[in-house]
Amino acid sequence: MLRALCKATMVGLALLCWTLPALAGDVLPVMVSIAPQRYFVEQIGKQHVAVEVLVPPGLDPHTYEPKPGQMAALAKAKIYFAVGVPFEKAWLPKFSAANPLMRVVHTDQGIVKIPMVDHDHLEKPRAGEVQEHDSDGFDPHIWLSPPLVKLQAQSILNALQAIDPDHGDEYAANGRRFMAEIDQLDADLRSIFAGKTGLRFMVFHPAWGYFAQAYGLEQVPIEMAGKEPKPAQLEALIIRAKQRGIQVVFAQPQYSAKSAQIVAQEIHGQVVLADPMAADWASNLRAVAEKFKAALK
């Protein structure tokens, strides 16, 4: 009997030793809407988080519908970091219903959003008309402004510390490093755009409003209320582009570049890709800034 007890004890200790590393290696399953958010969460959570992105690269976050496999992943998530893209309005209640224990954190909370503007104010939405890309009529692309990302990062930090206080000090240290990285990026971008205040750049989809606001620029969108412009609107755009000496039209991979190509052809310019959804957020903003700078010469 004693031998059996010792054997059972040894087996139990072996099992305990096997499970402790697994427990120590446990990570928080986190869901985010778009790829840039993964960058933010991983900078603060580091090895303590496992982040899954709902909207795959190259797809439109304004109208995306989650796949069944993603709904299964959502059922296991501890935190969902929302950013305010339009599809969240319809789907967040469904996510919460599928996983009532999942904490939903609105990282856009407290951020004053700017209206989505049509191309150079050539035509404003009529009363009661909303723009397809944002059901509230406000620009959701807050992740493209480093100063606004600092606010989002603070929300992420607070949520991680609340749900995982054992690693709170690590999250705080990571948060300070990330804030310093954002400050350096902001300083670099301000240097890139020094002396460019007030200059305009032309884009197809108006995703760069907060970026332009942060650095004293102005975007001139081609898209009209989430739709391709009508021929008369396109003609007016081409005239204005010629008057302002615009030589580059920016487009993004998530949308058709047809209208952008037409404008570029008429102004004897070129279409350049600028992806607001790139996963490597900091490197992408630096690269886009250099493209904008070159276009504004």
pLDDT band with cut points at 50, 70 and 90 for residue 118: low
Mean local confidence (pLDDT), 108-118: 86
Per-residue model confidence as pLDDT tens digits over 155-184: 999 999 999 999 999 999 999 999 999 999
For the chain, residues classed under CATH 3.40.50.1980 are: 18-189, 195-295
Measured distance CA(94)–CA(90) in Å, rounded: 8
Mean pLDDT of the residues in the chain:
84
**pTM for this one?**
0.83
Which CATH number is correct for 195-295, 3.40.50.1980, 3.40.50.10470, 3.40.630.30, 2.40.30.110?
A: 3.40.50.1980
Distance CA 205, CA 166 (A): 43
Q: Is 180 in contact with 132 (CB distance < 8 Å)? A: no
Q: What is the pLDDT of residues 231-283, one digit of tens each?
A: 888 888 899 888 888 888 898 887 777 888 888 899 888 889 999 999 999 99
Q: Looking at the predicted structure, is the pLDDT value of residue 91 above 90?
A: yes
Q: Cβ neighbours of residue 37 under 8 Å, at least 6 residues apart? A: 51, 53, 81, 83, 107, 143, 152
> Domain 18-189, what fold?
Rossmann fold (3.40.50)
